[in-house]
Amino acid sequence: MRFFVHAALTALLLSLAATAFGADEDGYDLWLRYRPLERASQQRVQAQARSIVLAGASSPTTDAALAELDKGLSGTMGRAPAHTARIGDGALLLATPARLPALADTASPLRTELATLGDEGYLLRQTRMQGHQVTLIAANTDIGLLYGAFAWLREAAIGNMRAASSAPKLQLRLLNHWDNLDRTVERGYAGQSIWDWWALPDIKDQRYTDYARANASLGINGTVLNNVNSKPEILTAPFIAKAAAVADILRPYGIKVYLSARFSTPLELHETSTADPLAPEVQQWWNKKADEIYKSIPDFGGFLVKANSEGQPGPQDYHRTHADGANMLAAAVAPHKGIVMWRAFVYAPKGAHLADDRAKQAYEEFKPLDGTFAANVLVQVKNGAIDFQPREPFHPLFGAMPKTPLMMEFQITKEYLGYSTDLAYLGTLFEETLDSDTRTGKTVAQTLSGMAGVANIGSDRNWAGSHFDQANWYAFGKLAWNPQATASDIAIEWAALTFGPDQRVTTPVTEMLMMSRETVVNYMTPLGLHHMMGTSHHFGPAPWVDNLERPDWNPVYYHRADRNGIGFNRTAIGSNALEQYAPEIARQYADPHTTPQQLLLWFHHLPWDYAMPSGRTLWAELLARYDKGVADTKLLHARWTALKPFIDTRRYTEVEQRLVRQTQNAILWRDACIAYFQSVSGLPLPPGVQAPAHPLEYYKALRYPYAPGRG
Ligand code: BDP
């Protein structure tokens, strides 16, 4: 009997806990969930928002800010306070100097503070205004007020209510959609493109507004709607009208629309006889095209261009330089204050001369052009010199082009890190690159004028393909606003907003996030290995591939493993890619003993018996890393299962299924790589290291014909 009472009580408590931790969520609300707060937090929020007051007349942007405050407060508090015209005690007051004379008063310390916050900054402050105690959201512009409203709501949702002041450190904070006009997404793992080009411009999905809200909440202020592998049609009148409809929706949220332009567009549309950037007919065509676009989209941001890379057309087809091409487009958008983001991800097209090391090509092509780009051109550089690998050293162009504004290009979508099935928080990857010291007097972050992230957004209900991948969108936005923010602070905040502020959840979730990317590095490409993924879809291990048309598409080109050793020698006696870095770095990394272990095989080819700091041989260390990758994946899973009582069933299950799959992926990577490297090294497995489950041929025969993301 006692047993039954006990069991019934436990069941009751468990079900209460389940209710306490909420009904099922599908992830659509992202970090803007606005779930009911506990009583004590509600009281704190209530004290700051007895009424809502907007100083001055409304605008589409203040309408958006007020609507968000209503939505947020209805959710967290159960009801939104009244909007009033007069300031009273406990008012939440939104004001700019133009809206409220008291803020324009040069003697006011708030005015002085605001003067440091620029066009997009904001401050949150408890203060007295017209004799009343108020909570002030102040900014210099309406966009600043919107950002401030989101920041205040974030504080409310976490129950903090701290004073704050913040301004973006980078002017350009963009998403890059690799979305095609047929709604497929290149390297997208979250369903179809959210842009329904067929339905636009007449039919406008509510998602576009929610997309704008989510991005504005992070301070993202631009979006490139279409794939860098672009099509000429995007610049025809019907598509300009479609882009204009999107721009109209995003505008109140401070987000500008940009388009990826195909360099040969006028030629392919049969409107010119060449695409040579120095031909007057081509220049005139682009000038007229820019005028046409700006007529429909007055605040059009400009163009993103992938040229002379992977078969895309470009100025080199006419023996012109990247600067000639970029400057021609820049001249077309300059009268409208537009910009051109010209990508540095270039490597020789098929059949052309192959560099001895693909990692060197962007630097070789772009460094000599420093100082020759027009003022409204930015060169957009991927974080590393190869291609969005789980780990790469920072790209040598950062710090090497002091006369050219640079944009960082990160990949938020996880093409090489397990799609949206494997958990890998990229905040740590982004932070590692941004904090790298270029030894030119600046960190990578300090060399930047902007930051672009290849979006992981799609039509999936949860936007990103998995709940945890939302954290990568979040971290990108936060770091674009402040590249000095830390990945762990961002993780804590995201965890609290996504799963609620209970520390029994936020602490372990943050720990999971923080260990996840290193876990993926360990089970995929430890110790500086890179580019060993399956051909074309880039899923799963394929270190054996050696038969592709271009040598630098083959994994064997990158790991160079043979009976004697492994790794790519990029020192002076190798490809000398090291020479592209500042002398201090080149010197430090010239010696394997002073090269960070995590980049060892990126820069060095070493014998299998090379002595590692751990006391193990390189061979044994490599095996140990693979084992750690698998062990840590299991640990991620175990940490999540311990959270079961605290997470709604739907999200718990969706994440859990992925972690089971990730463990299988990790084992696959470990086993396949060990089987392959053992076949080349001929070395035995040390005692205690488990043999791969299958012979090498089994792994080589695996195929993924319908892997997603190939656009
Ligand atoms: C590679 C992708 C390819 C992109 C290319 C790029 O595999 O789909 O088109 O980068 O950035 O990572 O242009």
The domain that contains 156 carries what CATH number?
3.30.379.10
Pocket flag, ligand 1, residue 345 (CB < 6 Å): yes
Q: Considering only CA atoms, which of 345, 249, 250, 240 is closest in space to residue 297? A: 240
Q: Which two tokens stand for residue 668?
A: 């696959």
Q: Is the predicted pLDDT of residue 456 greater than 70, yes or no?
A: yes
CB count within 10 Å of CB 365 equals 20
Pocket flag, ligand 1, residue 187 (CB < 6 Å): yes
Residue 463 CA, chain-centre distance (Å), reads: 14
Q: How close is the Cα of 275 to the center of ligand 1, in Å? A: 23
Same domain, yes or no: 241 and 352:
yes
Place of tokens 């890998």: 424
Same domain, yes or no: 192 and 136:
no
The domain that contains 650 carries what CATH number?
3.90.1330.10
Pocket flag, ligand 1, residue 539 (CB < 6 Å): no
DSSP letter for each residue of 98-113: TT-HHHH-TT-HHHHH
pLDDT digits (tens, 9 = 90+) for 39-78: 999 999 999 999 999 999 999 999 999 999 999 999 999 9
For 637-662, what is the mean pLDDT?
A: 98
Q: How close is the Cα of 94 to the center of ligand 1, in Å? A: 43
Q: Which domain, by its residues, includes 229? A: 172-485
Pocket flag, ligand 1, residue 276 (CB < 6 Å): no
Domain final residue pick, 106, 138, 166: 166
Q: Is the predicted pLDDT of residue 561 greater than 70, yes or no?
A: yes
pLDDT digits (tens, 9 = 90+) for 287-308: 999 999 999 999 999 999 999 9
State yes or no: is 387 an active-site residue: yes
pLDDT digits (tens, 9 = 90+) for 181-193: 999 999 999 999 9
Domain final residue pick, 142, 166, 190: 166
**Does 512 map to a domain?**
no
Pocket flag, ligand 1, residue 537 (CB < 6 Å): no
Atom from ligand 1 closest to the CA of residue 187: 8
Atom from ligand 1 closest to the CA of residue 538: 7
For 3-26, what is the mean pLDDT?
A: 57
Q: Which two tokens stand for residue 654?
A: 């969706």
677 Cβ neighbours under 8 A, 6+ residues apart: 543, 561, 566, 622
Mean pLDDT, the chain, rounded, equals 95
**Does 275 map to a domain?**
yes
Same domain, yes or no: 160 and 183:
no
Q: How close is the Cα of 384 to the center of ligand 1, in Å? A: 13
pLDDT digits (tens, 9 = 90+) for 249-282: 999 999 999 999 999 999 999 999 999 999 999 9
Same domain, yes or no: 543 and 479:
no
**Does 493 map to a domain?**
no
Across the chain, which distance is largest between two alpha carbons, in Å?
A: 93
Residue 351: per-residue pLDDT: 55
- Report how far residue 625's alpha carbon sits from residue 639's, in angstroms, rounded to the nearest whole number: 21
Same domain, yes or no: 281 and 353:
yes
Same domain, yes or no: 156 and 184:
no
Atom from ligand 1 closest to the CA of residue 409: 11
Share of the chain above pLDDT 90, in %: 93
The domain that contains 333 carries what CATH number?
3.20.20.80
- Find the Cα–Cα–Cα–Cα dihedral 317, 321, 322, 328, rounded to 10°: -90
Q: How close is the Cα of 567 to the center of ligand 1, in Å? A: 24
pLDDT digits (tens, 9 = 90+) for 199-224: 999 999 999 999 999 999 999 999 99
Q: Considering only CA atoms, which of 701, 690, 706, 651 is closest in space to residue 26? A: 651
Residue 22: per-residue pLDDT: 79
Rg (CA), the chain: 27
State yes or no: is 268 an active-site residue: no
**Does 210 map to a domain?**
yes
Residue 19: per-residue pLDDT: 43
Residues in the chain, overall count:
711
- Alpha carbon nearest to ligand 1 atom 11, residue: 345
Q: pLDDT band at 13, cuts 50/70/90?
A: very low
Q: How close is the Cα of 556 to the center of ligand 1, in Å? A: 20
Q: How close is the Cα of 88 to the center of ligand 1, in Å? A: 55
For 475-486, what is the mean pLDDT?
A: 98
Residue 442: per-residue pLDDT: 98
- Alpha carbon nearest to ligand 1 atom 10, residue: 387
Choice among 38, 105, 119, 310 that is catalytic: 310
Question: Taking a C-beta distance cutoff of 8 angstroms, is the pair 456, 420 a contact?
Answer: yes
Question: Taking a C-beta distance cutoff of 8 angstroms, is the pair 251, 222 a contact?
Answer: no
Residue 299: per-residue pLDDT: 98
Positive or negative, the CA dihedral 221, 226, 231, 234 is negative
Q: Where are the alpha helices (DSSP H) in 525-648?
A: 555-559, 583-590, 600-603, 618-641
Positive or negative, the CA dihedral 439, 440, 444, 445 is positive
**Omega of the bond prior to 201 within 30 degrees of 0, cis?**
yes
Same domain, yes or no: 79 and 181:
no
**Does 517 map to a domain?**
no
Pocket flag, ligand 1, residue 517 (CB < 6 Å): no
Pocket flag, ligand 1, residue 155 (CB < 6 Å): no
Same domain, yes or no: 548 and 675:
yes
Atom from ligand 1 closest to the CA of residue 228: 13
Residue 161: per-residue pLDDT: 83
- Report how far residue 239's alpha carbon sits from residue 245's, in angstroms, rounded to the nearest whole number: 10
Residue 349: per-residue pLDDT: 64
Place of tokens 């009582």: 645
- Alpha carbon nearest to ligand 1 atom 2, residue: 187
- Report how far residue 22's alpha carbon sits from residue 649's, in angstroms, rounded to the nearest whole number: 9
Q: Which of 176, 180, 185, 187 to mutate to test the pocket of ligand 1 (most atoms within 8 A of CB)?
A: 187
Q: Which of 229, 417, 548 to mutate to test the pocket of ligand 1 (most atoms within 8 A of CB)?
A: 229
Q: How many domains does the chain have?
A: 3
Q: How close is the Cα of 313 to the center of ligand 1, in Å? A: 15
pLDDT digits (tens, 9 = 90+) for 541-550: 999 999 998 8
State yes or no: is 310 an active-site residue: yes
- Report how far residue 316's alpha carbon sits from residue 467's, in angstroms, rounded to the nearest whole number: 43
Same domain, yes or no: 354 and 296:
yes
For 80-92, what is the mean pLDDT?
A: 96
Q: Is the predicted pLDDT of residue 555 greater than 50, yes or no?
A: yes
214 Cβ neighbours under 8 A, 6+ residues apart: 30, 31, 32, 463, 473
Residue 347: per-residue pLDDT: 84
**Does 77 map to a domain?**
yes
Q: How close is the Cα of 413 to the center of ligand 1, in Å? A: 11
**Does 252 map to a domain?**
yes
Tell which phi-psi region holds residue 112, choosing left (phi > 0), alpha (psi between -120 and 50) or beta.
alpha
pLDDT digits (tens, 9 = 90+) for 157-169: 998 888 999 999 9
168 Cβ neighbours under 8 A, 6+ residues apart: 118, 120, 121, 219, 480, 481, 482
Q: How close is the Cα of 525 to the center of ligand 1, in Å? A: 19
Q: Considering only CA atoms, which of 387, 363, 389, 420 is closest in space to residue 598? A: 389
Same domain, yes or no: 57 and 142:
yes
Domain final residue pick, 485, 512, 534: 485
For 452-457, what is the mean pLDDT?
A: 99
Residue 375: per-residue pLDDT: 98
* pTM score of the predicted model: 0.96
Residue 356: per-residue pLDDT: 86
Q: Which two tokens stand for residue 67?
A: 């609507």
- Report how far residue 596's alpha carbon sits from residue 235's, in angstroms, rounded to the nearest whole number: 46
Q: Which two tokens stand for residue 251?
A: 């505008």
Choice among 392, 409, 415, 469 that is catalytic: 415
Pocket flag, ligand 1, residue 306 (CB < 6 Å): yes
Same domain, yes or no: 113 and 190:
no
Q: Which of 179, 180, 387 to mutate to test the pocket of ligand 1 (most atoms within 8 A of CB)?
A: 387
Place of tokens 């992938």: 306
SS3 182: coil
Q: Considering only CA atoms, which of 173, 107, 103 is closest in space to residue 141? A: 103
Same domain, yes or no: 455 and 547:
no
**Does 480 map to a domain?**
yes
Q: pLDDT band at 350, cuts 50/70/90?
A: low
